[in-house]
Amino acid sequence: MGRKVTKTDKEWKVKLTPEQYNILRLKSTEQPFTGEYWNHKEKGIYKCAGCGTTLFTSETKYDSGCGWPSFFEPEMEENIEKELDLSNGMRRIEVLCKNCGGHLGHLFDDGPQPTGIRYCINSVSIDFEKKE
């Protein structure tokens, strides 16, 4: 199954802010402790800033102390894509939105139970929808 959202580079530059484009499309990373959602505590849903796909909920968000929003599992596993990332001299698992291919962050094996994993996500890669 291919990606549902396909845009040209030019279309992404029009849709996204320069910072969103740099992170979602060019796979950059925001500085720790600077993003809008790293210390966010409201209840609701976190969606892909590129296409609006539901990714995480506040129920699986926790304070990992790393400076980025951290989640111990996605809302729906089928909305997440994982790829090996060998950039910057490291071996990591990159987390992408399966719907549009946007770079969200990375996956680490130092999270809390019940999963033991940590989705370390850039705030700029996600939008928040408050739960009513």
pLDDT attached to residue 124: 97
Pick the catalytic residue from 48, 51, 97, 120.
Answer: 120
The domain segmentation of the chain, as residue ranges, is: 9-130
Q: Residue 128 corresponds to which tokens in the numbers above?
A: 């928040």
Note whether 43 and 58 are within 8 A (CB). yes
Count of other CB atoms within 10 angstroms of residue 120? 23
Note whether 103 and 125 are within 8 A (CB). yes
Residues of the chain whose pLDDT is less than 70? 1-3
pLDDT attached to residue 132: 75
User: What is the CATH architecture assignment of 9-130?
Assistant: Beta Complex (2.170)
- Beta pairing partners, 103: 96
| Cis status of the peptide bond prior to 114, with omega within 30 of 0 | yes
48 catalytically annotated? no
Write the pLDDT tens digit of every residue in 4-25.
888 999 999 999 999 999 999 9
